[in-house]
């Protein structure tokens, strides 16, 4: 009887897990960088390496400008993004989205796209700046709580953007909720470091990037569902 109950609970867990993943598609196949390119280029810099299903930025391999922000080939409007990240001591990176890839007009991903911060809060100088800590909507909204894990441990992330409603989830806990593109959003941008960039945070469809901030960073299990 006990074995039957355990098996039944196992089946329920499997069904729940499957249902939770319905509609999600891999953005990273764990073996190649298919579906990605370096911002403003057609290929991927060799500093982005793949090992054991993990995408790793190795800043020591950035000879001949072979790094750069890694950007999806496809644009997304309403989406639910899931991934995992971990940092080395003193590392900084970010997940940037709603990027308008026009490298002649915008030299960097962050000139148009907004960012969920990825950071070693205690080891990197940005950790001392309000709205620059892990899980923050970078330079715009401070996270309500900080469930970030220790350096070297994997953090799970969800970014949900649907018709202007934006939610950040870090390690299963909602850390940021806001509405994009309304008057309050415009006020947030006007009070931020992005105020001089008239097109920042205005695009309602764009590409997603993993930032190269010259520090070691690891990403895995990157999936997305269009809403």
pLDDT tens figures, 121-137: 999 999 999 999 999 99
Query: 23-38: per-residue pLDDT in tens?
Result: 999 999 999 999 999 9
148: closest CA among 117, 178, 125, 179? 117
Residue 196, in any domain of the structure: yes
Is residue 7 situated within a structural domain? no
| Residue showing tokens 């105020």 | 195
pLDDT at 71 over 50: yes
Torsion of CA 99, 103, 108, 110, to 10 degrees: -20
* Domain total in the chain: 1
Q: Which residues pair with 223 in a beta bridge?
A: 26, 82
Quote the pLDDT of residue 60: 85
User: Model confidence over 201-221: pLDDT tens digits?
Assistant: 999 999 999 999 999 999 999
Which phi-psi region, left, alpha or beta, contains residue 154 (left: φ > 0; alpha: ψ -120 to 50)? beta
Q: Is residue 77 part of a domain?
A: yes
Please give the average per-residue pLDDT across 94-109, as a whole number: 98
Asked whether residue 201 is assigned to any structural domain, the reply reads: yes
Residue 59 or 210, more confident:
210
Q: Which domain holds residue 210?
A: 25-226
The dihedral through the CA atoms of 127, 131, 137, 143 has a sign that is positive
Strand spans (E) along the chain: 25-26, 36-38, 48-51, 54-57, 70-72, 79-87, 92-99, 114-119, 155-162, 165-170, 173-179, 207-210, 217-226
Q: b/e map of 8-25 (b: 16 or more CB within 10 Å)?
A: eeeeeeeeeeeeeeeeee
3-state secondary structure of 156: strand
CB 14 within 8 A of CB 41: no
Distance CA 98, CA 206 (A): 4
**CATH at 95:** 2.60.120.560
> Is 124 a member of any domain?
yes
User: Residue 191: exposed, middle, or buried by beta-carbon count in 10 A (0-12, 13-18, 19+)?
Assistant: exposed
Within a domain: 119? yes
pTM of the model: 0.90
Token pair in block for residue 36: 């990605």
Tell me, yes or no, whether 74 lies in a domain.
yes
Assess if residue 3 is contained within a domain.
Answer: no
């Amino acid at each position: 009887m006990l074995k039957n109950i355990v098996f039944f609970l196992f089946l329920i867990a499997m069904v729940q897990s499957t249902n939770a993943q319905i509609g999600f598609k891999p953005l990273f196949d764990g073996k190649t960088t298919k579906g990605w390119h370096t911002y403003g280029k057609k290929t991927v810099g060799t500093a982005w390496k793949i090992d054991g299903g993990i995408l790793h930025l190795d800043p020591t391999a950035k000879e001949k400008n072979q790094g750069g922000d890694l950007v999806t080939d496809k644009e997304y409007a309403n989406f639910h993004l899931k991934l995992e990240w971990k940092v080395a001591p003193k590392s900084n990176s970010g997940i940037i989205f709603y990027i308008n890839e026009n490298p002649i007009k915008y030299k960097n991903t962050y000139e148009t796209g907004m960012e969920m911060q990825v950071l070693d809060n205690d080891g990197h100088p940005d950790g001392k700046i309000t709205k620059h800590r892990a899980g923050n909507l970078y330079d715009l909204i401070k996270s309500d709580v900080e469930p970030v894990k220790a350096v070297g441990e994997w953090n799970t992330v969800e970014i949900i953007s649907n018709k202007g409603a934006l939610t950040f989830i870090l390690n299963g806990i909602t850390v940021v909720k806001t509405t994009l593109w309304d008057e309050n959003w415009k006020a947030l941008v006007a009070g931020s470091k992005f105020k001089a960039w008239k097109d920042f945070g205005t695009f309602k469809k764009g590409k997603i990037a993993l930032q190269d901030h010259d520090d070691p960073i690891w990403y895995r299990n990157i999936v997305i569902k269009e809403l």
